[in-house]
Amino acid sequence: MKRLPKVGNMDKKKHEKHEKKENLEKKNEELLDQLKRTLADYRNLEKRVEENKLEWIKIANKQLLLRILPGLDALLLAEKHTKDEGIALSIKTFLNILEQDGVLKIETIGKDFDPNLMECVGIIEGEEGKVIEELKPGYMLHDKVLRPAQVTVGKLGNDNQAIENC
């Protein structure tokens, strides 16, 4: 039987060189891919930072407003109990200022209870499903709910339910 020659030294070296080249090419591709991914992540991060910037401003404003609203709540209570004209006018001024920044009071009394805009804190005898009293006013900030209103809702019949702990 004829015998096949061994792999000669020359060919062995050639083979190693070839393998090395292939490995390097493969590594090169991997690194290039990694680089591209990293760059892509970076670009995406830049985009997201830009988007977030505007969001953050909105959110910061929202937080500030939420901290200020209890002050307005107190004034409203004072007006309700003292019926003072001066206080009523001050409240109007306050609300006008807020309106200019897109803050609008949510109308509740007499309206249907809407959990998207209001929180029911009590039930009272009255027209079924309608808001009878407003405990704390709610506000919209542009098209989103800044703070839901707290209301008591009407129910026909007997049970006056106490506010439950959940």
Partner 1 sequence: MGKIIGIDLGTTNSCVAVMEGGTPIVVHSAEGRNVIPSVVDPIDHVVGDIAKRQMVLKPKRTIFSIKRLMGKKFTDESVKEDSKWLPYTIKSGRDGMAVIEVEGRSFTPQEVSAMILQKIKSDAESYLGSKVTQAVITVPAYFDDSQRQATKQAGEIAGLEVLRIINEPTAAALAYGLDKKNAHTIAVYDLGGGTFDISILELGDGVYEVKSTNGDTHLGGDDFDKVIIDYIAEEFKKDNGVDLRKDPQALQRLREAAEKAKIELSSAQQAEINQPFITQGKDGPLHLTMTLTRPKLEQIVDPLIQKTLHPVELALKDAKLKTAGIDEIILVGGMTRMPKVVEAVTKVFGKEPNKTVNPDEVVAVGAAIQGGVLGGEVKDVLLLDVTPLTLGIETYGGVDTPLISRNTTIPTSKSQVFSTAADNQTQVEINVLQGERPMATDNKSLGRFILDGIPPAPRGIPQVEVSFDIDANGILSVKATDKATGREQSIKITGSTGLTKDEVEKMTKEAETHASEDIVKKEQVEAKNAADSMIFTAEKSLKDAGDKVTEDIKKEVEEKVAELRKILDTGSKEELETKTRELSDSLQKIGQAMYQKPEQQQGEGSEEPKADSEDQANGQANGEKKSEEPVEGEVVE
Give the CA distances from residue 147 to residues 27, 71, 103, 116, 139, in Å, rounded to whole numbers and listed in that order: 56, 14, 10, 10, 5
Sole window of 10-18, 93-101, 102-110, 121-129 interacting with partner 1 (rule: CB under 8 A): 121-129
Q: Is 69 in the site for partner 1 (CB under 8 A)?
A: no
CB of 27 to partner 1, least distance (A): 15
CB of 38 to partner 1, least distance (A): 8
Q: Is 50 in the site for partner 1 (CB under 8 A)?
A: no
Cα 22 from Cα 98, distance rounded (Å)? 69
Half-sphere exposure of 98 (CA within 13 A, CB side): 24
Binding-residue total with partner 1 (CB under 8 A): 31
C-alpha torsion angle, residues 6, 10, 13, 17 (rounded to 10): -120
User: Which CB atom, from 18 or from 47, has the smaller least distance to partner 1?
Assistant: 47
User: Which CB atom, from 28 or from 38, has the smaller least distance to partner 1?
Assistant: 38
User: Which CB atom, from 98 or from 151, has the smaller least distance to partner 1?
Assistant: 151
Q: Is 66 in the site for partner 1 (CB under 8 A)?
A: no
- Please give the structure tokens belonging to residue 48: 């997201």
Sheet architecture: strand order including 144-147: 103-105, 139-141, 144-147
| Amino acid at position 2, single letter | K
Binding residues for partner 1, rule: CB under 8 A, are: 41, 45, 59, 62, 74, 77-78, 80-81, 113, 115-116, 118-123, 133, 135, 148, 150, 152-153, 155, 161-166
